[in-house]
Structure formats: C-alpha cells, structure tokens
Amino acid sequence: MLITIAGTKGGSGKTTTAVCLAQEAAARGIDVLLLDLDPQGTATDWAPDLSKHLAGIRTGAEIRQVGAGHEVCIIDTPPGAAPQAAAAIEAADLVVAVTGLGPGDMKGLQHLLRMVDPDLIVPTRRDGRRAIHKHALHALSSRWSHLVTEPVPMSAVVERAQADQAALPPLSPPANAYRAIFDQLMAVRASNG
Ligand SMILES: Nc1ncnc2c1ncn2[C@@H]1O[C@H](COP(=O)(O)OP(=O)(O)OP(=O)(O)O)[C@@H](O)[C@H]1O
Ligand SMILES: [Mg+2]
C-alpha cells in the first residue's frame, strides 16, 4: 500500500508526518518503507533505517516499483509543485494532505485540494494558545469533517526526536496524535476495500 504525504506549502509538517507514521508502522511490526522523494533528504536524515532516498524519481510507475516489496510504503514529497510530488500522488493508494493552521497554510491547502482529493487531512503544529489556529481548525472541520484528523500539537519533543534520529516519546502528545492518525489511515484503507 502506497501512502503519499502531500502539501504544497513548505514547512507544513509533511516530513514529520511521514516519519512519525512510518515509525508508528514499524513499531506495530509492519514491513514499512519510508520513501524520501525530497532532494533535501530530511526524512532520511531523521530515520535512515526506514528510508530510501530517491529524489530523482519522476514517474508513478517507478514509485510503485520501489514500494512493491513492502507491506506499507510512506512517501515524503518535496514542497511546491515538484514533479516527484505529482508522481507520488498519482501512484498513491491513499493521499494524506498535511497543513499548518496559519492563514498562509489555509491558502496552500486550498491550492492542493484543487489538484488532489485527499483521503485524510492532518492539521499539524497546532498551538493551543493561538486563536487563529482554533478558528482554522473549526473551519477545516466544518468544511471537511469526515477527512480531518485530530490535530498534531506543537511540541518540543518533535525537534528533539529529529535531532536524535529517534521516534517520538510514546506517551508524548504528538505521538498520541500520530498513533490515532495511523489507526484512522488503516480504517480508511479497510473501508476502501
Ligand atoms: N508537531 C510539531 N511540533 C513542533 N515542531 C514541529 C512539529 N511538526 C513539525 N515541526 C517542525 O517544523 C519544521 C517543519 O516541519 P517538517 O520538516 O516536517 O515540514 P515539511 O513540510 O516537511 O517542510 P519542507 O516543505 O521543507 O519539506 C521542522 O523544524 C519540524 O521539526
Ligand atoms: Mg519535508
């Protein structure tokens, strides 16, 4: 199963979401590949044991071939309208759209939704003290309630895990969110047949 993590805006939390979902799959004993299509290689730097860095891939067929040997393949895409991102969206069984909750993020999400029809929308980097984030979440859930997952809270444990090339502490708020989001992904897969 190919799961593409998409988002047009830079820094929205795509790589964090790809890595944390791949780590969650690995923790469940699933044979998972984290396919890193971003020339920056951020996902590979964070989780080298789970990753393959193939930034030169341009077609969905190439992506399907690489992912074929694994139970689950989670694909991290570069920001913007990179050809790798378009190919990964084309190849995917499931598309997860990732978005921050600022005004620029909402614009980026609208742009993305004109091009793809995601299976889930994951709001990331939620700061509970910011009214604008609360409003954005409310707007997202009233428009796409069936697609929007619980938000991933902003937390210092994310940058620490990345620096340590580690998984999130299992009881931390972002780890709890990504665990629930992984369950939701598996439920969508089951309902798709
Ligand atoms: N829940 C979170 N709490 C705190 N920091 C976070 C969280 N999610 C992501 N970050 C931080 O935000 C920054 C951007 O996240 P990330 O690299 O995942 O975004 P991206 O969409 O992949 O960026 P790019 O477009 O450059 O590939 C990183 O420094 C990351 O550590
Ligand atoms: Mg990234």
Q: Is 12 exposed, middle or buried (0-12, 13-18, 19+ CB in 10 A)?
A: buried
Q: Chain-centre distance of CA 58, in angstroms?
A: 19
Cα 78 from Cα 186, distance rounded (Å):
24
77: Cβ below 6 Å to ligand 1?
A: no
Give the number of the atom of ligand 1 that is nearest the alpha carbon of residue 38. 27
Residues 99 and 91 sit within 8 Å (Cβ to Cβ) = no
> What confidence score (pLDDT) does residue 43 get?
98
pLDDT value at residue 81: 81
User: Residue 156: nearest ligand to its CA?
Assistant: 1
pTM: 0.98
Query: Cα–Cα distance between 77 and 1 in angstroms, integer?
Result: 16
Give the domain ranges of the chain: 2-192
Tell me the fold of 2-192: Rossmann fold (3.40.50)
Show the beta-strand stretches assigned E in the chain: 2-6, 32-36, 51-53, 72-76, 94-99, 120-123
Q: Are 166 and 192 in contact (CB under 8 A)?
A: no
Asked if residue 162 has its Cβ within 6 Å of ligand 1, the reply is: yes
Closest Cα to atom 10 of ligand 1: 13
Give distance in angstroms: CA of 158 to centre of ligand 1. Answer: 8
- Cα(29) to ligand 1 centroid in Å equals 26
Q: CB of 126 within 8 A of CB of 149? A: no
Determine whether the shortest distance from the Cβ of 174 to ligand 1 is under 6 A: yes
Task: Find the distance separating the first CA and the last CA of the chain, reported in whole Å.
Answer: 12
Q: Give the CA radius of gyration of the chain.
A: 15
Q: What phi-psi label fits residue 47: left (phi over 0), alpha (psi between -120 and 50 degrees) or beta?
A: beta
Residue 132: CB atoms within 10 A of its CB come to: 12
Q: What is the pLDDT of residue 4?
A: 98
Output the six-digit token pair for 48.
């080298």
Q: What is the pLDDT along the chain (193 residues), one digit of tens a residue?
A: 999 999 988 999 999 999 999 999 999 999 999 999 999 999 999 999 999 999 999 999 999 999 999 999 999 999 888 899 999 999 999 999 999 999 999 999 999 999 899 999 999 999 999 999 999 999 999 999 999 999 999 999 999 999 999 999 999 999 999 999 999 999 999 998 7
What is the Å distance from ligand 2's center to 36 Cα? 9
| Residue identifier of the C-alpha nearest atom 9 of ligand 1 | 13
